[in-house]
Each structure stands twice: as structure tokens, then as C-alpha cells.
Amino acid sequence: MSKTIVVVDDDPTQRRLIQAVLEREGFTATLLEGGDALLARLASGSPCDLILLDLVMPGRSGLETLSELRSRAHQQPVIVLTASGGIDTVVQAMQAGATDFFVKPASPERITISIHNALSIGALRSEVAQLRKRAEGRTTFGDLVGASAAMVHVRRMGERAARSSIPVLISGESGVGKEVVARAVHGSSDRAGRPFVAVNCGAIPEALVESILFGHEKGSFTGATDRHAGKFQEAHSGTLLLDEVSELPLDVQVKLLRVLQEGEVDPVGARRSVKVDVRIISATNRDLTRAVAEGTFREDLFYRLNVFPIEAPPLRERREDIPELADSFIRRFSLEEGRPITRLTPETLSLLVNHDWPGNIRQLENAIYRAIVLADGPALQPYDFPAISGLSPPAPAGVGEKPQPTWEAADASLPAASAGQGESPVRILDKDGHIRSLDAIEGDLIRLAIERYEGHMSEVARRLGIGRSTLYRKVRENGLGELAGLAEA
């Protein structure tokens, strides 16, 4: 999903120049003339991931706008634009909450580097906040990603369940995010901030299930060298998630039923029961009704757990959420891996949206993680998802290519009107077979390099073997300033 950058500047020329740079980098640019228009846009809830804000504008100044943004709790990163780099102005802007600044006119590289850095800082803060909320047991339904009808229904049901201590049974295919829903129920309830303990019932050895769930006393069996409290006591006053509850052995199901009825556990080897205050949330990817009919799950326990059922939808039934999910995974894994990956190409997004994802969100998450590691550019391409697209990454330049003929050989083998027009996009000969002027060839070569390296002028200069100042001079001489994102002299 493309990031939306809002450019606020009263100068229409500056707005257009910055827009060209942003769109070349794959961002969505929204252009506004003043601070009031920006505040109105944010109040309407329109998308905005980052703000480029001019400091000197008629009416509400940039500093006044920035202060008002922070007072209204808008946390988007703000990069301020100024015509003079006075230290006092910069200090005032940073104190008011700006993330960075640059002096106009700025080179495309300066603009894009500043934006990428600001977005990375914002993403890092967001990830830290999410991790802190998860650790503190305060994840809410507002933290769930997705606005599809299926997710709206899950939110509505979960918020109702959170208002009481009613037992909740979350069902759904593997990888749909059942634990995330359970954490949101806990974080939205009056038990938020208290222990949230998740236990995968299918991953516990059968001989240890009772001990792990209910605890044991020292010496109660061979190997019990210390007293163990058990998951129910760990979750006292909070919430216990019994993930894959259908995998519990029948004898443990009997004891679990008693815990739910009496509100107390009997640790292995203990002489007396222990009172516990635990809210139970169960999760399963199996049809418990069929398990009851087959005799592998107790009917009385089923009715105890299935008081408030919530169905977590598979990803193929909420395809409209895939762009937002993919964006959140790209942001997280790019930070973890230190990769400058910011987006999906439109072709890649279409590929992901139209895939069925049998492994659901977990499969999408792992696919994007792998793509982040494989990717060479700032945008994920279809060939970065070979298991889905069936494509392979392009071979590095020079690998498998045939040796290029010399110009003499080319001239001898090609018709005069087309020599130099074969594999080279820069024509050497004109339509009459005569050598074109050096200035004309140079202009075409610079245009090609700017397009090839997406306006990264440092890379263009390096590839052409000239200095940046020389490159900028030649860009203006050849009338390529708009293509390079530069103001014409």
C-alpha cells in the first residue's frame, strides 16, 4: 500500500516539484495550500502518513500549524521546509515536534532520504508501542488490522464479550489470528493489564498436560524437584487462553470441567485445592460439534466453553484487508532486517490480493518476511514471491548476455538508418545514417540515466563518471530539470 505524503506549501511550483519526486518514489502525494486545509484534512480522517510543511505561509504559519497538530494529538511525522536554514528557526521547529527539516530548493535525494528516515522512525515508534501494549496485556480491538465486513463483525462480537467474564470460544482455520482476537478481548475487558497466559494444548506431552495446566507439588512424581504453580495459577485475576483445546486428553477434560464449575484447581500431589479467578478463552481450528459426535471431546465441556462463540474469518474471505496487513508486515520486517523496503508494486499487490492463502495471515506474514530478505529495491516485485508468482528474479546485469559487437562491426551489420537503435536506447545515428551531434547524444544519455536510476542523482553521476555539480549543470543545459526534480534556473 502506497504511503500518503501531504505537501503543505503556498508556492504551487514547489508543490509540483516535490510531487514529482514523491510520485517517482512510489508515494501518493496530496497537495495543500495552507495549514487550515491540513488541519481540516486530518480532522476528516483522510489518510496521511507524513507531512511536508512549509514554515512561511500566509495566514497560519508552519510553526503555528505544527503546534496545533501536536495539541490535537496528531502524531504523523512532520518534515518542515524553509527558505533559510537559520538555527533559531530550526530549533523552534524541532521543539514544536518536527522530525526533520530541509532548505528549499532541496535535491530529490535529500527529500527522499528525509522521508524514508522519518517514516522509519514513525514505524519504529509504532512497533514499540504495540509491543508495550502486548506485554502489558492492553491490546484492544482498535489494534486489529482490517476494515472488512468480516473483521467489523469480529470486533463487534469481541467488544461485547469483553464487557463480561463470559467464556469465549474462538474458532477458525490455522493462521487466522485467533490468539490476536483473544488478546484483544482481554485488553478490552476490566482485566486489562493483568496476566494473559496462552497455552497450546496440542503442544504439551500427554503425560505433562495435567501438571502444566494445574501445577504440581515437589516430589509428587519422578522429576518433580520443585513446586510448579501451573497455568491456571499463573493467570490468576487475568485471562487464560486454551489454544487448540480440542487436543486435550479426555481425562484432562474431566478435570478442566471441574475447574470451570468450582473455580479451583487440584495441583498434582497437593492435599487441598487452590482457588483461582481466571477468565477462560478457548480456541480451536477443529469442528468441536463433530469432535463431540465422534467421542473425542466431552459434550458437557463443549457447552461450558461454547457460551460465546466468535468465528475468525479466513484471509480469502477478507481480501480487502490484505493491503493493510501487507503494509504492516513490510513496516515491521523492514525495521527488523534493516532493509529500505517501503511498498509493494501495483502488480505485486494484485498478486497477493488474488492469492487464496491456505495458510491465512501466518502464510502472508512469512511470505512477506522472505520477500523482504530477497528484495533488491525499495518496492517488492512479483518475482520476490516465487512460490506464488512462479517467477524467478532477473539475472544480474552481464550474466548470460552475449558479447556486444564493436561500433565498427555494428555499423557493418546494421542498415544505416537503424544502426545504434538495436539494443541501445540512445541512438548514435540519425534516420539518414549520419552521426548525431555530441550534445544530442549526451542529452539522451543523461535522460536515460535519470530514468534508469529513478532520479537518484548521486547514482546517476557515479554511473556517468562525472561530478554532481557537472551533472546538474548538464541537466539544466539540456532542459531536463523537471525530470530530475530541479527548479529551472
Write out pLDDT tens, residues 349-370: 999 999 999 999 999 999 999 9
Q: Which CATH number fits domain 414-477: 1.25.60.10, 2.60.40.10, 1.10.10.60, 1.10.3720.10?
A: 1.10.10.60
Nearby residues of 72 by Cβ (< 8 Å), 6 or more positions away: 39, 42, 43
Nearby residues of 370 by Cβ (< 8 Å), 6 or more positions away: 384, 385
Read off the pLDDT band of 8 (50, 70, 90): very high
Write out pLDDT tens, residues 39-53: 999 988 888 889 999
Nine cell digits for residue 449: 540515466
- CATH 3.40.50.300 residue window(s) in the chain: 141-313
Sign of the CA dihedral with 68 first, then 70, 73, and 77 last: positive
Sign of the CA dihedral with 235 first, then 239, 244, and 245 last: positive
At the fourth CATH level, which superfamily is domain 4-133?
Response regulator (3.40.50.2300)
Nearby residues of 180 by Cβ (< 8 Å), 6 or more positions away: 139, 144
Helices 322-337 & 360-374, crossing angle to 10 degrees?
40
Read off the pLDDT band of 486 (50, 70, 90): low
Write out pLDDT tens, residues 263-313: 999 888 888 889 999 999 999 999 999 999 999 999 999 999 999 999 999
| pLDDT of 158 higher than 90 | yes
Read off the pLDDT band of 412 (50, 70, 90): very low
Read off the pLDDT band of 404 (50, 70, 90): very low
Write out pLDDT tens, residues 209-256: 999 999 888 877 777 778 888 999 999 999 999 999 999 999 999 999
Burial class (CB in 10 A: 0-12, 13-18, 19+), 383: middle
- CATH 3.40.50.2300 residue window(s) in the chain: 4-133
Read off the pLDDT band of 485 (50, 70, 90): low
Q: Which CATH number fits domain 141-313: 3.40.50.720, 3.30.420.10, 2.40.160.20, 3.40.50.300?
A: 3.40.50.300
CATH number of 318-389: 1.10.8.60
224-232's contacts with Cβ under 8 Å and 24+ in sequence apart are 224/268, 224/269, 228/267, 229/267, 230/265, 230/267, 231/197, 231/199, 232/259, 232/265, 232/276, 232/278
What is the C-alpha separation between 68 and 91, in angstroms, rounded?
A: 17
Write out pLDDT tens, residues 362-396: 999 999 999 999 888 888 999 999 999 888 777 65
- Give the pLDDT confidence score for residue 421 in this predicted structure: 40
Ramachandran angles phi, psi of 136, nearest 5°: -90, 0
- CATH 1.10.8.60 residue window(s) in the chain: 318-389
The CA radius of gyration of the chain, in Å to the nearest whole number, is 31
Q: What is this structure's pTM?
A: 0.67
Helix, coil or strand: residue 28: strand
- Give the pLDDT confidence score for residue 239 in this predicted structure: 96
